[in-house]
Amino acid sequence: MTFFVLSDLHFGFGFPDDLNTLPANPLTQPVGLERDHQRVIAKMNGLAGQTYPPPLGGKVQMPRGLLLTGDLTEWGRVEEWQHFVAYYGLHGHEGLLKIPVFEGIGNHDRVHGPWVEQRVAERHGGRFYSWDWDDLHLVSLGEAPDDEGLAFLANDLAHYAADVPIVLYFHLALEGPWSTGNWFADGDFRNRLGKTIEKHRVIAIFHGHHHATGHYRWNGVDVYKPGAVKNSTHTFSVVHVTDSKMSVARYDYEANAWEWSDEKKLVAE
């Protein structure tokens, strides 16, 4: 199966100080970063059928959905959320995007309280949620797994055999730039996350927050940063998983070109 990953949307960045002056229709009168959102959404809608970079080969299949790793809004305001929904929808037919969306929050979404997080929970059944695409299990852990999130994850994974492939995604970084000086880094949450998943087959973790691309290993797990809409790293990840291998390729929607790709085996030969 194929799915996309994007981060750091920041609806509200570049909005007027007086929100009463916002256009009635954000799709026809884009504000702030919204022209960038139009570009990335148009590319996602049309990427199926295009050829992967030579190291991977083949063509992009129709994606099952889009994972969003947080910072949907700049300040967590109602108007910003409304613009996010107008562009990205939910099931693939409410907004510009034509595939389902599975979003989690970031630190910016919590600036003025839990309102955005509550909207996400209404759309997906909880602050943290999970689902299956065929044999692949995916888990959204919001900004990052706190006490409640770790308890949710442990209970969720207890229902799956150790050989089931699992993808986790959340907002805050595990290592590298912008991975310190926040509640997730300063507590023991990361260590507890590692212990929670150590007996399970986590094939990838995706996170945002850094507004950058990257790939590193954490506790033996491959971790990917897909790029962001805010600032200059205008890429999203295209993930393809089969029984035997997984590939992650980043597409630059400004340059209309593949920016990076990686492939790994999921079973030993």
State how far the Cα of 199 lies from the Cα of 163, in Å rounded to an integer: 9
Mean pLDDT computed over 55-62: 96
Whether 171 contacts 105, CB under 8 Å: yes
State how far the Cα of 218 lies from the Cα of 172, in Å rounded to an integer: 14
The fraction of the chain above a pLDDT of 70, given in percent, is: 99
Over 70: is that where the pLDDT of 185 sits?
yes
Over 50: is that where the pLDDT of 126 sits?
yes
Mean pLDDT computed over 241-248: 96
Mean pLDDT computed over 222-240: 96
Q: Could you tell me the two tokens for 41?
A: 């959404």
State how far the Cα of 31 lies from the Cα of 56, in Å rounded to an integer: 37
Mean pLDDT of the residues in the chain: 96
Provide the pLDDT for residue 269: 46
Residues in the chain, total: 269
Q: Where are the domains of the chain?
A: 2-265
Nearest Cα to Cα of residue 108 among 227, 208, 16: 208
Over 70: is that where the pLDDT of 268 sits?
no
Over 60: is that where the pLDDT of 131 sits?
yes
Question: What is the CA angle 100-74-144, rounded to 5?
Answer: 65
pLDDT class of 9 with cuts at 50, 70, 90: very high
Mean pLDDT computed over 219-230: 97
Q: Could you tell me the two tokens for 42?
A: 């148009």
Which CATH number does 2-265 carry?
3.60.21.10
Does the pTM of the predicted model rise above 0.75?
Answer: yes
Over 90: is that where the pLDDT of 60 sits?
yes
Mean pLDDT computed over 206-216: 96
Beta partners for residue 235, in sequence order: 252
Provide the pLDDT for residue 108: 98
